[in-house]
Amino acid sequence: MSLLAVEDVTLKFGGLTAVNRLSFAVDAGEIFAIVGPNGAGKSTVFNLISRFYTPQSGALRFDGHDLLAVRSSDVAALGVARTFQNIELFDHATVLQNLLVGRHRHRRSNILSEILFTPAVRRQEVENRERVEEIIDFLDLQPYRDKMIAGLPYGVRKVVEMARALATDPRLLLLDEPASGLSVEETSDLRWWIEDIRRQMGITVLMVEHDMGLVGQVCDRVLAMADGAQLALGTPAEVQAHPAVIEAYLGH
Ligand code: ADP
Ligand code: MG
C-alpha cells in the first residue's frame, strides 16, 4: 500500500481549476518529485495534503487515514511535515528556538503537569532538546544554533526550515522548491541531505523542484504537471523525454 495517495482530486478557485482530476501515489521510502511550469498547481497539491485547502472532489489518504477527515492542525501529528516556497520561520527567534517549536507536537503532557513541571514533562523536555541537537548536527547548523533567523543568509534559512520540519519526526516530508535560490554548493549539500533523510531517518520525501539536475540525481519517480493535471509520470529520464513535457516547457 502506498504511504500517500491522491485520488482524482479537483480543486477550483472560483473559475480557475488549480488541480484537475489529479491522481498519484507515493510509496513509503520513495523520493518523489512534482515538476511543472509556474502555476501548474504544484504548491496547491502540497496545500491540499496539508489540508489548508479542501478539494471539491476526490480523496486524499495518508497511511490508511482519510486526510479529508483530518483538520490541518492535526496533519503534523499523523506524520506529515512541510517547508514552504516562501520560508516561514519565527524571524526574531534563534535557530534552536525555531526547532524546539517544531517539537511541540511531542509534548503529550497536560497543562497541569506542565505547570507542576512533573518528571514526565522534564523527561520530555530533555528528549526534545536531544533530538533537536541531533538535527542541528545532521544539517551542519551548529554555527548558527543560537543566531537569530532574521540575520541569517537565505540558504541557511532554507536549511533551518527543513530542520524544523524534521524536528516533528515526520514519516512524509514535503519540500516546496528546496533548491530555489541556493548556490551550486548549497544545492550539492541539499542533494546529500535529501538522500540521508531517506537512508538514515527512513523518511519518505515528496518535493516540488525546478532543478531537473537535482531531480534526476535524487528522485525515484517524477510527476510532471501542467494546468493542474498530470502530463507524465515515471522515472526522471522517462518524464524528461516525454513529448508532452517537452512541449509544456517549450510553450511556457
Ligand atoms: P505552482 O506551485 O505550480 O507554481 P500554484 O499551485 O501555486 O502553482 O498555483 C496554481 C494556480 O492556482 C495558479 O494559477 C494560482 O494563481 C492559483 N492559486 C493558488 N492558490 C490560490 C488561492 N489561494 N486563491 C486563488 N488562486 C490560487
Ligand atoms: Mg509553487
Nearest atom of ligand 1 to the alpha carbon of 14: 25
> Are residue 137 and residue 175 in the same domain, yes or no?
no
> Are residue 202 and residue 152 in the same domain, yes or no?
no
> Are residue 138 and residue 36 in the same domain, yes or no?
no
CA of 245 from ligand 1 middle (Å) equals 20
> Are residue 131 and residue 193 in the same domain, yes or no?
no
> Are residue 17 and residue 124 in the same domain, yes or no?
no
- Nearest residue CA, atom 7 of ligand 1? 43
For the chain, how many structural domains are there in total? 2
Q: Is 29 helix (H, G, I), strand (E, B) or coil?
A: coil
> Are residue 161 and residue 56 in the same domain, yes or no?
no
> Are residue 75 and residue 17 in the same domain, yes or no?
yes
Q: Is residue 87 part of a domain?
A: no
Q: Is residue 56 part of a domain?
A: yes
Residue range 193-245, pLDDT digits in tens: 999 999 999 999 999 999 999 999 999 999 999 999 999 999 999 999 999 99
Position 223 scores a pLDDT of 98
Nearest atom of ligand 1 to the alpha carbon of 38: 4
Position 123 scores a pLDDT of 87
Position 96 scores a pLDDT of 96
Beta strand 172-176 pairing with 204-208: parallel
* C-alpha–C-alpha distance, residues 186 and 243, integer Å: 32
Q: Which three cell numbers stand for residue 77?
A: 501529528
> Are residue 236 and residue 183 in the same domain, yes or no?
yes
CA of 153 from ligand 1 middle (Å) equals 27
Give backbone dihedrals phi and psi of 14, rounded to 5 degrees, phi first.
55, -125
Q: Is residue 145 part of a domain?
A: yes
The CATH code of the domain that includes 238 is 3.40.50.300
Position 103 scores a pLDDT of 83
Pick from 44, 51, 180, 210 the residue to mutate for probing ligand 1's pocket: most ligand atoms within 8 Å of its CB.
44
Give 94's DSSP letter. Answer: B
Q: Is residue 85 part of a domain?
A: no
Position 94 scores a pLDDT of 96
> Are residue 175 and residue 136 in the same domain, yes or no?
no
Residue range 148-183, pLDDT digits in tens: 999 999 999 999 999 999 999 999 999 999 999 999
Mean pLDDT, the chain, integer:
93
Neighbours of ion ligand 2 (CB under 5 A): 42-43, 85
First to last CA, the chain: 36
Looking at 165, 185, 206, the residue that finishes a domain is 165
> Are residue 154 and residue 188 in the same domain, yes or no?
no
> Are residue 70 and residue 180 in the same domain, yes or no?
yes
CA of 19 from ligand 2 middle (Å) equals 13
The CA-CA-CA angle for residues 47, 214, 243, to 5°, reads: 80
Full domain range(s) for residue 180: 4-79+170-251
